[in-house]
Amino acid sequence: MLRRIRDVLPSSATVQLSPAATVLAAARLMAAQKQCAALVVSKQRLEGIFTEQDAVRRIIASGHDPARTKLCDVMTEDPDTIGPDEPAIKGLQMMEDGGYRHLPVIHNGRILGVISRSDYLSEERAELETERHLWERIA
């Protein structure tokens, strides 16, 4: 069964904050909504993404004050995105190749949500791994 990104997309609400919001505000909202990523949005346009890994690596480990640090200063700007009708395996491959865990889903400029590696079935992960091994043998 070939799933599409729309089949992987969770139904839970997506955390969206302005670039001027603080890391502390983002962390509190992410915790309250049980989300591991926040989309940074300005005028309904995706500007960036901020994840729990960013909080650890860019804020805590660096000694920054989360109450004073703005998302625009520590977010990943212009993150990769994917459309809802793309094959689900493509999203997983993008995350694997890019070394990230969260991928915003956009359709006609509208934010639909965020998928993560954990949204994938083990069969899809195994399929991608099989493809990778095959390509390594060919190369």
Instruction: Give Cα separations from 88 to 4, 39, 56, 114 (angstroms).
Output: 5, 20, 29, 13
**pLDDT, position 128:** 64
pLDDT surpasses 70 at 132: no
Q: Which CATH architecture has domain 5-138?
A: Roll (3.10)
pLDDT in tens, 47-99: 999 999 999 999 999 999 999 999 999 999 999 999 999 999 899 889 989 99
**pLDDT, position 11:** 87
Beta-bridged to residue 117, according to DSSP, are none
HEC string of 70-91 equals EHHHHCEECCCCECCCCEHHHH
Distance CA 57, CA 42 (A): 24
**pLDDT, position 18:** 98
**pLDDT, position 89:** 87
Distance CA 57, CA 69 (A): 14
**pLDDT, position 54:** 96
Question: Does residue 127 sit in helix, strand or coil?
Answer: helix
Band of residue 13 on the pLDDT scale cut at 50, 70, 90: confident
